[in-house]
Amino acid sequence: MSRDAGDSFEEFVRGRSAYLFQLALLLTGQKQEDAEDLLQVALERAWRRRGLRYRHGSPEPYVRQILVNASIDRWRRLRVHWRHTTQRDQRHDSPESKPAEQRQEAHAGKFVEAAAGADCRHCGAA
């Protein structure tokens, strides 16, 4: 790899980092810290491969693709974490894990909600 490849990549980063950060913000749902992390990951991966000859003469399409792929990986990790946390919480919230009094209160609450949503033919309310 030549010194020119490193210099041109640094010029690219200086010139396009604001745009790439906006893209990272979009990919992370406007979460600044996550966008910063995502952009850092993408630029680090692109830096390691900066000696490549880019198909379009610029590393930008390559860096954008890295951003998208890293974002997909991030969402997958979040989804797996969410599922794991939800399943754990559901086990702790199962009816068997609650005292009888809490189960009765929950059942009564469901009955009241159902009754409130029912048609009342005697009073004319819907």
Instruction: Read off the pLDDT of residues 14-67 as tens digits, 9 standing for 90 and up.
Output: 999 999 999 999 999 999 999 999 999 999 999 998 877 777 778 899 999 999
Q: Give the separation between CA 68 and CA 21, rounded to whole angstroms.
A: 12
Q: Give the separation between CA 24 and CA 20, rounded to whole angstroms.
A: 6
Main-chain dihedrals φ then ψ at residue 96, nearest 5 degrees: -70, -25
Residue 109 has a pLDDT of 56
Residue 91 has a pLDDT of 66
Do 59 and 50 touch, CB atoms closer than 8 A?
Answer: yes
Residue 24 has a pLDDT of 96
Residue 123 has a pLDDT of 45
Q: What is the pLDDT confidence band of residue 77, given thresholds at 50, 70 and 90?
A: confident
Reported pTM? 0.60
Q: What is the DSSP letter of 2?
A: -
**What tokens were used for 108?**
């009564």
Main-chain dihedrals φ then ψ at residue 73, nearest 5 degrees: -60, -40
